[in-house]
A and B are shown apart, each in its own frame.
Chain A
């Protein structure tokens, strides 16, 4: 079966492979110079697992390409990558995030809604629950980091809340209605996703004065990556390709902010 948009699809795959391979080598060399650093080590493992996952996915696309596998090793690699990214951020925050039951409840609710939507769209229970559980840890770590470092002002938090609620309502409506209207409702989520991605990109690339030299730069790039990944998982092609490509850009920003963090230490 021919897949649509082959140039974009394989272009992103190739680009991702090159970026992740270069970042893996860079982080490994950096670790050899700086000595043991949990922040960089976890990040290296996260990037490396994403790299092998990309290679597997590329080979699968080229060889089989008729449908996504029901469950394969790359799902565990991706989930492992999310755990490593979360652990890297947690290490940067000094293992002192502690427990916040309110943030935990928000995270579990948010990820349960996401996972329910993924299962409703794909029907792959095992894969989606595994990914959802791993992302839960990533989202919780990001959320605690954002609260702790006061990364967002109150209006921004409210804007995010409104955007997320809107996405969930539109996605659920799209699922129930289906057909052309459902597809239209689904596409209406794209501006919200893109606005979020743009916000994180701008804040990560042009940090405010209060963001520099602190963990908040890391929190922002980690949240940007998480947002891109969630957008990717809830979007159809061709919109899917944009958050997919930008998520690798976010990984570059994650590495940059982590290196700055380690240098400051």
Chain B
């Protein structure tokens, strides 16, 4: 057993203090990073509760329910930021990526403290697959939100559409890595491959041409 709240505090405190001395994009990044870590902790509580409430095993919850809980939790601060501050597209991407990185960092910390860091392949898989997956799912979500704003379709349907994309991507990754063999190899490659595929549209989207 690990004490996730203690680890959370240990990482959060220096970052929170650093907020007093940074400005602009760096401040937004650090704050979003902290929010991402907080979401990871809250998501773990909710998933743990659901595991007991719906009588599912931990694995079933991680394959079926966790992606739904985590992606909704990651969407909420981004949606708040989008509606209250009306930021530029690059600021939306910055915050989304920072939330994803914060989430992945805290999750990886907890996993590595549980399983140990002796195995290099395991740590690489955690970093390159699960870690990148959270960044990519947030990137997909930010893409969706930026597009619905550009195409002037900001509504519940548009937001649910964008959320569905990131949620199903996350669920697909969890499903693929849930079983050993070829499926898990595909799962481990999926986040990096998707990041590569998204790179070009991301660059194009940042140029205001749509």
- Distance between Cα atoms of A137 and B99 in the complex (Å): 33
- Would you call A49 and B152 a contact (CB within 8 A)? no
A45 touches which of B161, B167, B176, B209 (Cβ 8 Å): B161
B-side contacts of A32, CB under 8 Å: 209-210
- A residues 7-54 in Cβ contact with B at 8 Å: 31-32, 35-38, 40-42, 45-46, 48-49, 52-53
B130 within 8 A of A: no
- Would you call B67 and A73 a contact (CB within 8 A)? yes
A80 within 8 A of B: yes
- Would you call A73 and B151 a contact (CB within 8 A)? no
- Distance between Cα atoms of A48 and B151 in the complex (Å): 15
- Distance between Cα atoms of A72 and B167 in the complex (Å): 10
A-side contacts of B156, CB under 8 Å: 83
The closest CB in chain B to the CB of A42 belongs to B153
- B residues 13-59 in Cβ contact with A at 8 Å: 54, 56
Main secondary structure of the interface of A (DSSP, over half): helix
- Distance between Cα atoms of A81 and B165 in the complex (Å): 10
B148 touches which of A45, A56, A80 (Cβ 8 Å): A45
- Other than A41-B151, A53-B164, give 14 A-B pairs with Cβ distance below 8 A: A45-B153, A49-B161, A49-B164, A52-B164, A53-B168, A62-B183, A72-B64, A73-B68, A73-B164, A79-B164, A80-B164, A83-B161, A86-B157, A87-B157
Task: Write the residues of chain B forming the contact surface with A, with a CB cutoff of 8 angstroms.
Answer: 54, 56, 63-65, 67-68, 71, 144, 147-148, 150-153, 155-158, 160-165, 167-172, 175-176, 178-179, 183, 209-210
22 contacts between A and B (CB under 8 A): A31-B151, A32-B209, A36-B152, A36-B210, A41-B148, A45-B144, A45-B161, A52-B169, A63-B179, A70-B64, A72-B64, A73-B71, A73-B167, A76-B164, A76-B168, A79-B160, A80-B157, A80-B163, A81-B164, A84-B161, A86-B157, A87-B155
